[in-house]
Amino acid sequence: MGSRRWSPWGASTTGSMFREFEDMRRDIERMFEETIQDIGRVPKELVREYETPSGKVREVGPLVYGYTATIGPDGKPKIREFGNVRPSLGAAATPMLSSELEPLADVITSDKEVKVTIDMPGVSKQDIKISAYDSTVEVSTVENAKRRYYKVVELPPETDIETAKSTFTNGILEITFNKKAKPKGREIKVE
């Protein structure tokens, strides 16, 4: 994809915004073409070969690349990438490819809780491993899962990891944490 970064906030007119989208689409298409040109670089878990009446067929995939763009509480845009294809730095570099998908994840905070939502289609809840740490939650699938996922999500500092609860429904994993109670202060008299 080269070293150019797309920014939805940099487009000054509707026409230039659509040109930016078209440029980005071409960059992604070129990245996928470069990825599958060297079939030896593709992890064996992503290549399937089988015979059909017409001959031998080779399927490669899934190859996934995507991003989300949100505005953070500080008013600055946050761009998060997901998938198993990563653009490499430099115009001549070939994209990096992994057999593990980095799933789409979102963190939503309210007054009382922090909710992490992760898209993990194609696996069962028995295949999912979740580990919470002071400032992150790590989500992965077991080694023999039908699809392999791995994601580390940063948590806000007020997250109480001891209160974690999770549900998995229709390919959507939700991990809910309570927020830590704000410490009560006390007045100190100056002597």
| Cα dihedral 18→13→75→81 (10° resolution) | 10
Q: Is 49 exposed, middle or buried (0-12, 13-18, 19+ CB in 10 A)?
A: exposed
- Judged against a pLDDT cut of 80, whether residue 56 lies above it is answered with yes
As a whole number, mean pLDDT of residues 127-145 equals: 92
Task: Please report the pLDDT score of residue 136 as a whole number.
Answer: 94
For range 123-150, the mean pLDDT: 91
Q: Does position 1 have pLDDT exceeding 50, yes or no?
A: no
pLDDT of 34 over the 80 cut: no
Q: Give me the domains of the chain, ranges plus CATH numbers.
A: 1-98 (no CATH), 103-182 (2.60.40.790)
Supply the DSSP symbol for 184.
Answer: P
pLDDT at 40: 66
pTM of the model: 0.64
DSSP assigned state of 40? G
Residue 95's pLDDT is 61
Q: Across residues 87-93, what is the average pLDDT?
A: 57
Average pLDDT of the residues in 114-137: 93
89 vs 40, residue with greater confidence: 40
CB 153 within 8 A of CB 105: yes
Query: Residue 167: in which H helix or E strand, if any?
Result: strand 159-169
Determine which helix (DSSP H) or strand (DSSP E) holds 20, and give its type and residue range.
helix 14-37
Q: Does 68 score more than 50 pLDDT?
A: yes
